[in-house]
Amino acid sequence: MTIQFRNYNGQADYVRLSNFLIQNHQPANGDGNWLEPAWEYMHNHPYLDQSSRGRIGIWEEDGVIAAFVTYESQLGEAFFQFHPAYRHLRDEMLDYAENNLAGVSSKDGRRVLCAFVNDMDKEFVELVEARGYKRNDEDSRTMLQFPIPDPFPAIQLPEGFRLTSLAEECDWAKVNRVMWRGFNHGDDVPMTEEDLEGRRKLFDTPKARRDLKVAVVAPNGNFVAFCGMFYEPTNRFAYVEPVATDPDYRRMGLGKAAVLEGIRRCDALGATVAYVGNDLPIYRSVGFRKIYVCECWLKYLE
């Protein structure tokens, strides 16, 4: 049996790689692969470089996917996804990433690659070190998990604030406003039709549920905190992506309340654990704890 390489080829491969992530998921994300909702979120993000998707590399044996390497948003980054029996492909996959997924440094125009390697994969860490990569802690990502407790903790909000979801109040202008301000882009919120359609596309993905997209509503009617939440039913987990709180309403527990409400709703669907790929204090306050770090290893290729 021979392992064969090929490039990503459209919607059929989107579905096959989605299923690969679901089928190879291990408890506590022990496989180290992306959680499947991250794959869906990537493909519907307005900042995705759509033109480079054909550079995603796939390795197969007898037509069965063994591994793949992808970027997330733009060229210059590489994320490695494995069936557990095919981790010996690391070296070959890194070669491919260097030749096909490298980007151009905004600082000096040199070709550069950030290879994202989980700190629990010691052999891969040793490989990138031996090949001249340097760890960049600033761009590394921490994966956290939260075993869903029973009974579920009470969710507290200040007087006058309330929880809702896009199933109950689907207002893309309000979503756009809280996301723009919540990610510190300033007060001048763009509200073009294209902006609102971008928000809709991001949160109305094929497997998305509007009842899991949770907002906190202020007394004035604005959404002032927002939590996008995904539920993966095969492996019974919740995935948090993204969370934003309006800067005028921070340090009030609103983002935490939105996250907890999203997890509570996933709990009702059968989730036993929640994951988030970020180590911000808000997630620690909820009760998330680190399981591994997806380290950014940087190398200039010329």
Q: Which pLDDT does position 107 carry in this prediction?
A: 85
Same domain, 37 and 138: yes
How many whole angstroms separate alpha carbon 157 and alpha carbon 216? 9
- Residue 281 domain-assigned (yes or no): no
How many whole angstroms separate alpha carbon 235 and alpha carbon 294? 21
Same domain, 126 and 223: no
pLDDT tens digits, residue range 158-216?
999 999 999 999 999 999 999 999 999 999 999 999 999 999 999 999 999 999 999 99
Q: Which pLDDT does position 12 carry in this prediction?
A: 94
Instruction: List the domain range (segments joined by +) for residue 62.
Output: 3-142+293-300
Q: Which pLDDT does position 59 carry in this prediction?
A: 99
Same domain, 132 and 168: no
Structurally, the chain folds into a number of domains equal to: 2
Per DSSP, helices labelled H in the chain are 10-23, 36-43, 90-100, 122-130, 172-182, 193-203, 254-269, 281-286
| E-strand stretches of 27-167 | 57-61, 64-70, 77-82, 103-104, 111-118, 134-147, 162-165
The partner residues of 216 in beta bridges, in order of sequence, read: 163, 225
Same domain, 86 and 118: yes
Mean pLDDT throughout 265-275?
A: 99
Of the candidates 292, 288, 291, the residue with the CA atom closest to the CA atom of residue 240: 288
Which amino acid, 147? P
pLDDT tens digits, residue range 101-153?
999 998 899 999 999 999 999 999 999 999 999 999 999 999 999 999 999 99
- Read off the DSSP letter of residue 204: S
- Residue 280 domain-assigned (yes or no): no
Same domain, 115 and 200: no
- Residue 249 domain-assigned (yes or no): yes
- Residue 264 domain-assigned (yes or no): yes
SS3 51: helix
Same domain, 107 and 173: no
Q: Is 176 exposed, middle or buried, given 0-12, 13-18 or 19+ CB atoms closer than 10 A?
A: buried
Q: Residue 101 sits in a domain of what CATH number?
A: 3.40.630.30
Tell me which H or E stretch contains 7: strand 3-7
Phi, psi of 223 (to 5 degrees): -75, 125
- Residue 277 domain-assigned (yes or no): no
SS3 73: coil
Same domain, 126 and 231: no
Same domain, 183 and 211: yes
- Residue 149 domain-assigned (yes or no): no
Q: Which pLDDT does position 106 carry in this prediction?
A: 87
SS3 60: strand
Same domain, 114 and 172: no
Same domain, 125 and 175: no
Same domain, 127 and 179: no
- Residue 283 domain-assigned (yes or no): no
DSSP strand pairing (111-118 vs 77-82): parallel
- Residue 155 domain-assigned (yes or no): no
Same domain, 132 and 14: yes
